[in-house]
Homo-oligomer: A and B are copies of this chain.
Amino acid sequence: MSRTATDKPPTKRQLAAEQTRQKLLDAALDNFSRRPYAEVTVGEIARSAGVAHGLLSHHFNGKENLYAEVVRKINGQLRAATQITTEGSAEARVRRHLSAHFDFLAAHEDAAVNLILRRAEATDIAWEAFEATRREGIRGICALLNLDSEEPSLQLPMRGFVVVCDEMALQWLRNGRSPSTGAMVDFCMAFLVGALEAAYGLTPTRALRAALEELRRGRQSRPEAPAAGR
């Protein structure tokens, strides 16, 4: 499917075909961002892309697969955008991660609402793509906190956490991005603590305790935020 290292250099035609594929993908991203799956027709997508609608099946083997590809694409972009540097404390890095997350969503509002935050079921095949994004999000946060994202007791709480971030982001976008990104991050951090405590309540591990203390320490060093529970 993808060209390997031993491939001959792509010919002009292959290049053109790839371009067409991208045009279709972009057009689909655009359309699916604005209207629900069922309301977007392949004809519209092809028209947006300026190509014959038959090409859609040629390149993507049907509307469903194209949709899934779109979801994968936007989520890949999200993942790339939330890769953050390793500087600073874990808490600081989580904050930067979340901040980048919100920035990305704000920069791709339509796509964010319809292809990231609201996981419209659409179709089985796309569902997989949604799930992958979610798992990836959890893995990212866990890594920053030195937690094992596969740990069973973390599954539910972390899922809850990412979902809470998404839902709040959704409302935030609807509200015209108020309150500030910083406040949104604060909210998320509070929920993150809640999530970890939930997990800790079920199975109190050393790693969890360390992560929680890390988060608390970070919070205290930010004087504008009230000390927890005091």
How many angstroms between the C-alpha atoms of A168 and B157 in the bound complex? 8
How many angstroms between the C-alpha atoms of A190 and B202 in the bound complex? 11
How many angstroms between the C-alpha atoms of A36 and B120 in the bound complex? 10
**Could you say which of A4-12, A97-105, A158-166 contacts chain B?**
A158-166
Which of A120-163 touch B at CB < 8 Å?
A: 120-121, 155-157, 159-161, 163
**CB–CB A201/B225 < 8 A:** yes
**Could you say which of A71-79, A87-95, A192-200 contacts chain B?**
A192-200
Q: Nearest chain B CB to A91's CB is how many angstroms away?
A: 14
**CB–CB B195/A191 < 8 A:** yes
Minimum-distance CB pairs A-B, first 10: A194-B194, A190-B198, A163-B167, A160-B164, A187-B198, A191-B194, A164-B164, A190-B197, A38-B38, A160-B168
**CB–CB B187/A157 < 8 A:** yes
Q: Is A60 an interface residue (CB 8 A)?
A: no
Whether A228 contacts B197 in the complex (CB less than 8 A), given A121-B120, A167-B163, A202-B179, comes out as yes
Whether A186 contacts B171 in the complex (CB less than 8 A), given A38-B38, A160-B164, A164-B164, comes out as no
A160 contacts which of B38, B120, B191, B225 (Cβ < 8 Å)?
B191
Q: Is A223 an interface residue (CB 8 A)?
A: no
**CB–CB A202/B186 < 8 A:** yes
Q: Give the one of A164, A191, A192, A226 with max B CB within 10 A.
A: A164
Whether A201 contacts B226 in the complex (CB less than 8 A), given A163-B164, A187-B157, comes out as yes
Whether A187 contacts B120 in the complex (CB less than 8 A), given A167-B163, A204-B226, comes out as no
**CB–CB B195/A121 < 8 A:** no
**CB–CB B172/A186 < 8 A:** no
Instruction: List 28 contacting pairs A-B, 8 Å CB cutoff, sorted by A.
Output: A36-B121, A120-B121, A156-B168, A156-B171, A156-B187, A157-B191, A159-B167, A159-B168, A160-B165, A160-B187, A163-B164, A164-B167, A164-B191, A179-B202, A183-B202, A186-B202, A187-B198, A187-B201, A190-B195, A190-B197, A190-B198, A190-B201, A191-B194, A193-B194, A197-B228, A201-B225, A212-B229, A228-B228
